[in-house]
Structure 1
Amino acid sequence: MSVTPSPGQDTAAAARAALTLDRGTAVRVVAIAAFLAIALFALPTIGADWTTTFTSVAIYSIITLGLGILYGRVGLISLGQVALLVIGVWTATRLNFATGLSFPLVLLLSGLITCAIGVLIGLPAIRLSGLHLALITLMAAGAVNVVLVAINFPNGGGGFTGRTSTPDLSGLQAVRRPSIAEGDTAYYRYVVVVAALVFLVALLHVRSKPGRAWAAIRESEPAALAAGVNVVFYKLWAFALASFMAGVAGALLAAQVGQPTAQSFQTQDSLTLLAVTLIGGIYSLWGAVVAGCFSQLLPFLFQVQWGFNPNFVLILFGAGLLQVLLTAPGGLAQQFPKDMASLGRLAWRGVGKVTGRGGRT
């Protein structure tokens, strides 16, 4: 015999659920605030080399965030994020030398121009998926690299390419940083703030109508079409958002480097970027931060701090990717908290057995 809950019981259950939700939201807000406080005020005090490295981590977190949205939220495997990053770096460098625009405006224009180019690249490839889409975007990355080697980055010259024929490049100016963040520490904080804003934009997309449409497309395109979702439009939306993020990251990277060179960007970097994104976690925004650390912090530790050959990092990436594909599809962002919780329960049970009290969860 079933018992129908009374209206009072329904109200109490709803109140408890709302209280639990509010507590969970409060915990997340506190965790994010603590993370930002540590990133802004604690990390820059470690040292100059560390500050430069963490600046790169923040920039590459933006890039992996866009790739995570494409793959984890929509199910599109793109290997063209590094190409879009290069376009963002080139655009920001050209705007910097050719105009007197402020850095925030250069940042915005670089994102918008890269966004437009990303949509143009995505238009012919939007009806593809899986391996076919990955190959098309990888070929696009290779084409961008070929063009980059031919024209290189602008260095203050005239014409469309902005290259000067002066053999002595030592006197060339560097890409301008924002006037409020010309030093390395100040620029690091500037990059962290911009990255936080980009993550907020991504969160708003995921929690709103585009996020629901992307989830429907990822689960089943035919079902999404049957439900009235404009699959082509929302796929292009995802491409546009990821391209905009890559353009913003490119502008930040151009100002960090000062004088970018073509040798710094290789087509195979697209594969490494996808690997670290999968390791970090494609279903969580925190996974982009983990991926940024794997992409920039680990090579710094191996080469500078520990004196190892940085190519050993590729072996570590391969082992991590294998482990993620076999046992942890959610990546470290989802698996690590679960493992720590299991370890904590196991340790508590061990304490209970030793002391003869407690230990049950």
Structure 2
Amino acid sequence: MNGDNNITVRQFLLMVILFTIGSSLLAIPSNAAVSMKQGAWIPIITGMGCNCLILLILMKTVHRYPKLTFVEINSLLLGKWVGTLVSLMWILTAFIGGVCPLVYYMGHFITTQIMTTTPDYIINIIFSALLVMGLLLGLQTMARAAEILFPVVAVLIAALIGFVSPKIQLEHFQPVWEAGVRPILKTTLDYVSFAGFPLVFFLSIYPSSVRTGTKASKTFVLGSLIGGMLLLLATAACIGVLGAETTARLFYPSYALAKRINIAEFITRIEVIVAAIWIITLFFETIIYFYASMKGLAQLLKLSDERALALPLGVLAAVLSMVVYHNSAYQQEWDERTWPFWVMTVGLFYPLLLLAVGAIRKKKIP
């Protein structure tokens, strides 16, 4: 890629943080509370440790080929046919398992919590159009947008935690270790499936499109840890204010948390804080999935400019988002039983495969 299109280390850091928060902000507190009750914060800490190990594997996979993307490394190490099949699976996971569900989440959240009389497809079309617009403007433009919007997210998260902290009740965290080891493992897998394994899609950007290349490895890890810490604070706030039972029962507990804010009967009903945080972070999470699928497909098709695929893929995402889930119950079952093992395949097993093949073949870049 042309160096003029590369992003800076700071931009890369902010995109990793926003991606990590993304859909996890609304999904993780509820999912963790179902299994872990008042100890819902524990698997986030263990999950952050697992994410560091995953990133170590990802970085070792690509550091030998710093100028190549994940798709190009597949072709180099696995050959034309096997490499293409692995790349297609990776691209389909990014698009069908990432972009389309996230567009659905946006429509579902807006139409059930904010604009209840608006049809889902209207929100899905608008969100898809914004994604296409961002991708047409290019990766560097989206990275600059992350620089502008991240301070907004940071201030809103600080405001949310600050406003609800007086309502936190320490007894909601007791007893600490009631659930046992097995629920911790299950909930850690849930966390990693949302905020760990999907980091593999940054290999369409890192290190080939980051100006310092492999020197940004510490930034990659730091971004994941900062995002995890923010999710940890949000989950702890939900448990501390709402209680474990209420958090587990609610579909969007962090949004309900903001409804509890009441300062002197003046500052109330400002759940728009969580809505704004989630819309911004979900946008950047979806952009990364979308960019990975678009760029990977363009490389397979030998297109000179991946942006030619932005509009057709955007239209396809808007259509598929309406059928990707039958209903909310199906969505929850899919997210819990299918998605973790699907994304584990492309986010852990494929990189391990490339790492092993690369160690055996020691193939150089032609």
Q: Shared fold (TM-score greater than 0.5)?
A: no
- Larger relative contact order (Cα-Cα within 8 Å, sequence gap ≥ 6): 2
Q: Which has the higher helix share?
A: 2
TM-score relative to the length of structure 2: 0.35
Larger Rg: 1
